[in-house]
Structure 1
Amino acid sequence: MRQRREHRIGPVRLSARTGIATSTAHCILKRHGMPALAATDRATGEPVRRFERSQPGELVHIDAKKLGRIPDGGGHKVLGRAAGRANQDRRDGTGYAYLYTALDDHSRLAYTEDLPEERAATCAAFLQRAAAWFAARGVTIERVLTDNAWSYTKNTWRQTCRDLGISPRWTRPWRPQTNGKVERFHRTLLGEWAYHRPYTSDAARQAAFPDWLDWYNYHRPHTGISGHTPASRVTNLSGQHI
């Protein structure tokens, strides 16, 4: 148990350090009520306590994910590592997309846009469109949670929040897991859309995105909400979808 607490390692590495079987290490951890490493905070080793807002709109998580664009003809997944290496120079290549997402804490309903940069005005304009999108689905945003990036601390962001009647919140420094729900969404987005198959152009990948987001919001069972879909947690939304 001392090895686990000091080094925060799982049964396989505990087995290697102590000479006992992996299954035995697992049983010992379980007997002492030690949670799986995936369920603990990396910094403290304490169990992660997951909270969820009780109603849609009480809190919306916002974050941007940087994603390399695909050149016409395909990147390294189509051309191979050697042929695709030239595209890694984003200064003279195809550049980056910034995937901005607003994700509702209660329902996990998501709104995402592909934008060209992370300026304060871009972030503020995204919030205006996201608020309108949620409002069209019967959700009024009360609070937004972002990290402490420069664009979310400027007066442009604060004024936009005031204009929309939204209360801005920021994650604690060095605690990005506070905004973990939207970060987890971005991992899902990358795995199930962006990197799901080889695309021959950025336009082809973008063309596939609306269908994927529709599937995520309306049809994909979400393990974080007991296998329900995000839309099912918003009043009447699933019934309005065609």
Structure 2
Amino acid sequence: MHITYSTNPHLPRLRAKAVEMLRSGKSLRQVSRHFGFNASTISRWNKRVPKTGAWLIPTKSSRPHHHSKELSPNITNRIVELRRALKGRCAEVIHGHMIRENIRVSLSSVKRTLDRRGMTKKKSPWKKLHYSIKRPEALKPGDLVEVDTIHLMKDEHSRMYIYTLLDVHSRWAYAKAFDKLSNPNSIKFVREARGLAPFKFLCIQSDHGSEFSKRFSKLIKLTHRHARIRKPNDNGHLERFNRTIQDELVSHLTTNVRIINKQLPEYLNYYNTRRLHLGLNLKTPAEVLQRY
């Protein structure tokens, strides 16, 4: 914001005319009397204009170079020193240290100083807002079915993926390996799981991965809920299954889609019908499903 000491719109041109008259041969005193300005003022205007002349001499901003209540360099430097010494601790902690050092400064001043020095994390302007429907209670099989992917390195340059799915109420699970992530593969996987599951899917929950995009939501023809950002517990049951299947099966096999898919049916049968689950009071998913 520019604050000027005059709002007269004609003054810039008047200054230029005064300089023109002075350079035409008139004395400084004559020009001063003609325009009604002090001789020293006319002289300053003349110094601002190049030898080639000027049509206007703009009014300079009268904004002060420093605020009357700005922090001293010693205080701002100390704020920066503490930020670095405390390994990026927040403004509240830095403010607390400064109070202990008997340095009088407000918390807002500490925050403002860190912001001006580029030492704060700004919210990304590209970050999208993600809205999730209310998480349904898993009161019966199919009320909430979680789906996710496990990423595995085949070699230094390529990956493979295991799609995983788990019903939160019964812990019934399904998995299949693919060479790539895509909406078509996601849809194919969920449709296969629906065909094998002994219950109806009512709500699918996934993360915000590209393989579970709006196109997936539209084509799957099910209620699709996205897990909340930075809420790992939203998909907690499936994350536990992902660790289990890696520990008990995948880690013992070659990272190959064909080999893993050959072994998965036997393991899933064991997981769903014979493996006792602490979360189910030492029952199997199949035993839970028998009640429905």
Q: TM-score, normalised by structure 2?
A: 0.49
Q: Distance in 2 between matches of 1:112 and 1:133?
A: 11
Give the 3-state SS of the residue equivalent to 2:146 in structure 1. strand
Q: Distance in 1 between matches of 2:270 and 2:137?
A: 23
**What does the per-residue CA deviation read over 1:67-109, in whole Å, with 9 as the maximum and x for residues that have no partner?**
234xxxxxxxxxxxxxxxxxx41x2xxx322111111010000
**What does the per-residue CA deviation read over 1:39-59, in whole Å, with 9 as the maximum and x for residues that have no partner?**
xxxxxxxxxxxx961210111
2:213 aligned residue: 153
Q: Do the aligned partners of residues 216 and 110 (structure 1) sit closer, same or farther apart at CA in structure 2, a change above 3 Å counting?
A: same
2:194 aligned residue: 131
What is the Cα-based RMSD across aligned positions, in Å?
A: 2.2
**What does the per-residue CA deviation read over 1:87-143, in whole Å, with 9 as the maximum and x for residues that have no partner?**
x41x2xxx3221111110100000111112111222122222222222xx2x00000
Letter in structure 2 aligned against 1:62: V
- Tell me whether 1:111 sits opposite 2:196 in the alignment: no
2:7 aligned residue: none
1:201 Cα deviation after fit:
7.1
Letter in structure 1 aligned against 2:153: G
- Tell me whether 1:230 sits opposite 2:289 in the alignment: no
Instruction: Report the identity percentage.
Output: 28
Q: Do the aligned partners of residues 117 and 229 (structure 1) sit closer, same or farther apart at CA in structure 2, a change above 3 Å counting?
A: same
1:23 aligned residue: none
Q: Do the aligned partners of residues 226 and 113 (structure 1) sit closer, same or farther apart at CA in structure 2, a change above 3 Å counting?
A: same
1:65 aligned residue: 150
- Please identify runs of 4+ aligned residues in structure 1 that moved more than 6 A: none
1:188 Cα deviation after fit:
0.2
Tell me, yes or no, if the aligned pair for 1:128 and 1:160 is still in contact at 8 Å: no
Tell me, yes or no, if the aligned pair for 1:124 and 1:157 is still in contact at 8 Å: yes
Tell me, yes or no, if the aligned pair for 1:147 and 1:176 is still in contact at 8 Å: no
- Tell me whether 1:190 sits opposite 2:190 in the alignment: no
Which of structures 1 and 2 has the bigger CA Rg? Answer: 2
Aligned residues: 156
Correspondent of 1:211 among 244, 252, 266: 266
- Tell me whether 1:122 sits opposite 2:122 in the alignment: no
Tell me, yes or no, if the aligned pair for 2:274 and 2:284 is still in contact at 8 Å: yes
1:40 aligned residue: none
**What does the per-residue CA deviation read over 1:140-177, in whole Å, with 9 as the maximum and x for residues that have no partner?**
000011011122222x2122232xxx211111111122
Q: TM-score, normalised by structure 1?
A: 0.59
1:234 Cα deviation after fit:
1.0
Structure 2 residues not aligned, in runs of 5+: 1-135
